[in-house]
């Protein structure tokens, strides 16, 4: 692989480490990986892991708490449905009380 496999590997690891009922941002993960400038690559990693149900990609949103990636999931509200199923309040693709449900790997780990 040309790119650092550790980047993707860690992305999956962190995603799996996200507690139930919590969410994090791509930038937080990217920063934890040491690639804060490549937050987009985290999203790309999630896309690659899209086939792995063990990776709760629905718990990963952008820093605004907006479900930007819901469009990549099946249907149109699967991501929101999953989040609400975990007790997270979501309105119009926007996570409410983000500061409460937010989970930062750098902070918690």
Partner DNA sequence: ATTCTGACGTGGG
Partner DNA sequence: CCCCACGCCAGAA
Binding interface with DNA (CB under 7 A): 2-4, 25-28, 30, 35-44, 46-47, 49-50, 57-58, 60, 62-64, 68-73, 79
If the CB atoms of residues 69 and 105 are measured against DNA, the closer one turns out to be 69
Tokens (6 digits) for 76? 């149109």
Closest separation between CB of residue 87 and DNA, Å? 20
Note whether 94 and 67 are within 8 A (CB). yes
CB atoms within 10 A of CB 84: 13
Closest separation between CB of residue 27 and DNA, Å? 3
Q: Which of 40, 22, 1 is nearest to 11 (CA)?
A: 40
If the CB atoms of residues 27 and 105 are measured against DNA, the closer one turns out to be 27
69 secondary structure, DSSP code: G
């Amino acid at each position: 692989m040309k790119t650092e496999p550790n980047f993707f590997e860690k992305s999956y690891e962190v995603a799996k480490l996200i507690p139930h009922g919590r969410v994090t941002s791509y930038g937080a993960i990217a920063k934890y990986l040491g690639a804060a400038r490549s937050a987009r690559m985290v999203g790309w990693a999630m896309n690659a892991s899209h086939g792995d149900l063990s990776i709760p990609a629905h718990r990963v949103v952008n820093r605004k708490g907006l479900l930007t990636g819901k469009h990549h999931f099946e249907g149109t509200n699967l991501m929101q449905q999953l989040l609400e199923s975990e007790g997270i309040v979501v309105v119009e693709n926007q996570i409410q009380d983000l500061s409460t449900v937010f989970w930062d790997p750098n902070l918690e780990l």
